């Protein structure tokens, strides 16, 4: 709940900026000025890095006894209050022979964040540069020694957004479900007899959770990365966009399948160049295998598919699922205590998905690492986590047939050069509702789907490549899970 509120805050006021939301309230006390934060690169090239506050400041890691004290400026930032929520409804009315079933459900969820008046603290970077000039990092310090040199780097907290008064975060959930079953029986002995058995159930569920946030809580911050040499000399990366790191003893690369920075020669530095054709972008995904999802037992496929659609409604649960899958892929048991803000139903949903995809390798298999099914599930969830909110919202309403048709359309467009002649149009184009949904999905990734009487084509916006790649991966994975149930 706290993580979702701070993430919404950053998304609203600094969506493309340098602010990082605080995901755990327990981290607030660690995020003092000049605190060191570990920035960790992640498994797949499109994933945003994770930031982990430490118990150390820059002064504690420098050689010598002189303590750095560059000073901090404090200004009033803004007053913030937000209420966000959604309403969901569904209705099932079906009849097969003598049996009819009716079910109707309504639900709503609301998150209210009232952070009140916030202040901003900024480190005096000029003084810090002057005072740290000529100083060296203690390369034998336990924190430096424990860093994965090519996967992690150190950064210094530059600015903080802090609450000035006690404030609150409230989450409210309402659910109502009605179920009714009717059984009609044909008569016997030539007499027409109808027996009606009605079993009506009303299920209601309410949940109200409120958290009081004390004054002085850090809800967001920004950092300056450090470039550290083997000698211990370091440079503060003050130029926007400049990346830090720790000089290694040899030229190594942090691998994610083939490479974090390059997959099939297409994606360098975690970005797809704007001038790369759409078809070439998708061809670059052939090393990323989602096919093992189709090898799961059919009931498991459907349960995982439905579970994922539910989890897409809550980014906090989706982030927890991704972290838990990453732990399992590394052979580590997920630490459920670290994600205490999940509600009980979310925990149960995530736990069920983990149990279903965590399949051991066959006996006698000498190949190390996770099973193909677990690896594929991790790939799918990491792609889903990178989708924009609008795409996630649309996918929660997606049907198996739509997902199959959408993937067919993407393959056809990939195989065409620039435009697609419509002699025998893909099935998705024949349904107005599905075509509109495809338009909206692509639009959420800055792609416009256009058509006229004879042709179909896509118009790409700037910075389209990466969002479009993760969208295609996401729909492909969901389609594989639901294909047998179209």
pLDDT at 93 over 80: no
From the number of C-beta atoms within 10 Å of its C-beta (0-12, 13-18, 19+), residue 126 rates as exposed
pLDDT at 450 over 90: no
In contact, 428 and 449? CB cutoff 8 Å: no
> Average of pLDDT values for 478-483?
91
Please give the model's pTM, rounded to 2 decimal places: 0.67
Report the b/e string of 135-159 with b at 16+ CB within 10 A.
bbbeeebebbeebebbbbbbbbbbb
For 232-285, how does the pLDDT look when each residue is reduced to its tens digit (9 = 90+)? Answer: 999 999 988 778 888 876 444 333 333 333 333 333 333 333 334 444 444 444
In contact, 356 and 300? CB cutoff 8 Å: yes
Nearest to 381 by CA among 257, 269, 481, 483: 481
Tokens found for residue 470: 């993760």
> Average of pLDDT values for 87-115?
56
Nearest to 468 by CA among 316, 326, 281, 343: 281
For 158-203, how does the pLDDT look when each residue is reduced to its tens digit (9 = 90+)? Answer: 999 999 999 888 877 666 555 554 433 333 333 443 333 344 455 5
β pairing state of 50-57 and 35-40: antiparallel
Given this model, what pLDDT does residue 209 score?
74
> CA dist 368 to 102, 330, 362, 376, Å?
49, 10, 11, 15
In contact, 4 and 111? CB cutoff 8 Å: yes
Confidence of residue 223 (pLDDT cuts 50, 70, 90): very high
Distance in angstroms (rounded) separating the CA atoms of residues 361 and 374: 10
In contact, 41 and 151? CB cutoff 8 Å: yes
Given this model, what pLDDT does residue 425 score?
59
Please state, rounded to an integer, the average pLDDT across all residues of the chain.
77
> Which of 81-85, 159-163, 298-302 shows the lowest per-residue confidence on average (mean pLDDT)?
81-85
Given this model, what pLDDT does residue 125 score?
93
Name, of 117-121, 320-324, 366-370, the range with top average pLDDT. 117-121
Q: Which is higher by pLDDT, 338 or 437? A: 437
For 459-475, how does the pLDDT look when each residue is reduced to its tens digit (9 = 90+)? Answer: 876 555 678 889 999 99
DSSP 136: B
Distance in angstroms (rounded) separating the CA atoms of residues 379 and 44: 8
Given this model, what pLDDT does residue 58 score?
94
In contact, 50 and 42? CB cutoff 8 Å: yes
Q: Please calculate the CA angle 240-383-6 and round it to the nearest 5 degrees.
A: 55
pLDDT at 37 over 80: yes
pLDDT at 19 over 90: yes
Within a 10 A sphere around the Cβ of 175, how many other Cβ atoms?
Answer: 16
In contact, 54 and 44? CB cutoff 8 Å: no
Q: Which is higher by pLDDT, 475 or 88? A: 475
| Beta bridge pairs of residue 245 | 227
pLDDT at 221 over 90: yes
For 352-400, how does the pLDDT look when each residue is reduced to its tens digit (9 = 90+)? Answer: 999 999 876 555 555 556 789 999 999 999 999 989 888 999 999 889 9
Strands of 419-421's sheet, edge to edge? 419-421, 455-460, 447-451
Q: CB neighbours of 298 closer than 8 A, spacing ≥ 6? A: 484
Read out DSSP for 150-218? TTEEEEEEEEEEEESS-EEEEEEEEEEEEEEEEE----STT------EEEEEEEEEEEEEEEEEPTT-E
Q: CB neighbours of 379 closer than 8 A, spacing ≥ 6? A: 44, 288, 289, 290, 473, 477
The structure tokens 């020669």 sit at 265
Q: Please calculate the CA angle 15-19-24 and round it to the nearest 5 degrees.
A: 110
In 314-382, beta strands by DSSP E: none
For 131-170, how does the pLDDT look when each residue is reduced to its tens digit (9 = 90+)? Answer: 998 899 999 999 998 887 667 899 999 999 999 999 888 8
Q: Which is higher by pLDDT, 147 or 84? A: 147
What number of H helices and E strands is found in the chain?
13, 14
Question: By three-state DSSP, how is residue 59 classified?
Answer: helix
Residue ranges of the domains in the chain? 2-83+112-166+214-246, 291-485
Distance in angstroms (rounded) separating the CA atoms of residues 122 and 114: 23
What is the Rg, in whole angstroms, of the alpha carbon atoms belonging to the chain?
26
Distance in angstroms (rounded) separating the CA atoms of residues 455 and 432: 17
| Beta bridge pairs of residue 80 | 116
Given this model, what pLDDT does residue 415 score?
62
Confidence of residue 486 (pLDDT cuts 50, 70, 90): low
Given this model, what pLDDT does residue 249 score?
61
| Beta bridge pairs of residue 213 | 167
């Amino acid at each position: 709940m706290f993580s979702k509120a701070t993430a919404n805050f950053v998304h609203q006021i600094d969506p493309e900026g340098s602010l990082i939301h605080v995901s755990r309230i327990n981290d607030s006390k660690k995020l003092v000025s000049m605190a060191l934060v570990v920035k960790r690169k992640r498994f797949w090239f499109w994933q945003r890095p994770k930031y982990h506050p430490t118990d150390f400041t820059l002064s504690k890691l420098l050689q010598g006894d002189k303590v750095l004290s560059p000073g901090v400026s404090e200004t009033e930032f803004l007053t913030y209050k937000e209420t966000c929520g959604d309403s969901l409804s569904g209705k099932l009315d079906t009849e097969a022979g003598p049996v009819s079933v009716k079910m109707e459900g309504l639900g709503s969820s609301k998150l209210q964040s009232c952070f009140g008046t916030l202040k901003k603290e900024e480190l005096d970077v000029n003084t810090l540069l002057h005072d740290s000039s000529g100083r060296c990092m203690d390369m034998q310090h336990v924190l430096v020694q424990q860093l994965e040199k090519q996967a992690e780097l150190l950064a210094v907290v530059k600015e903080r957004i802090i609450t000035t008064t006690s404030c609150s975060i409230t989450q409210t959930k309402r659910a109502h479900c009605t179920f009714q079953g009717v059984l009609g029986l044909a008569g016997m002995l030539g007499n027409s007899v109808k027996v009606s058995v009605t079993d009506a159930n009303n299920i209601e569920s309410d949940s109200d959770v409120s958290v009081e946030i004390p004054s002085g809580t850090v809800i967001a911050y920004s950092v300056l990365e450090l470039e550290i040499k083997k000698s211990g000399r370091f440079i503060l990366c003050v130029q926007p966009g400049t990346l830090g790191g720790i000089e290694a003893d040899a030229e190594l690369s942090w691998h994610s399948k083939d490479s974090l920075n390059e997959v099939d020669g297409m994606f360098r530095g975690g970005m797809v160049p704007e001038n790369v054709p759409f078809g070439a972008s998708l061809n670059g995904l052939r090393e990323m295998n989602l096919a093992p999802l189709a090898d799961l037992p059919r009931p498991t496929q459907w349960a995982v598919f439905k579970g994922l659609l539910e989890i897409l409604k809550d980014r906090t649960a989706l982030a927890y699922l991704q972290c838990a899958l990453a732990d399992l892929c590394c052979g580590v048991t997920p630490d459920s205590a670290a994600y205490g803000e999940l509600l009980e139903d979310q925990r149960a949903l995530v736990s069920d998905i983990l149990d279903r995809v965590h399949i051991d390798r066959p006996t006698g298999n000498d190949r190390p690492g996770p099973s193909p099914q677990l690896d594929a599930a991790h790939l799918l969830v990491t792609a889903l986590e990178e989708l924009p909110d609008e795409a996630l919202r649309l996918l929660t309403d997606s049907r198996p047939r739509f997902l199959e048709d959408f993937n067919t359309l993407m393959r056809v467009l990939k195989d065409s050069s620039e435009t697609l002649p419509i002699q025998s149009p893909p099935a998705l184009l024949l349904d107005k509702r599905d075509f509109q949904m495809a338009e909206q999905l692509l639009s959420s990734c800055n792609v416009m789907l256009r058509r006229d009487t004879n042709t179909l084509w896509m118009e790409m916006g700037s910075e389209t490549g990466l969002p479009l790649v993760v969208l295609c991966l996401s729909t492909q994975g969901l389609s594989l899970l639901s294909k047998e149930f179209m």
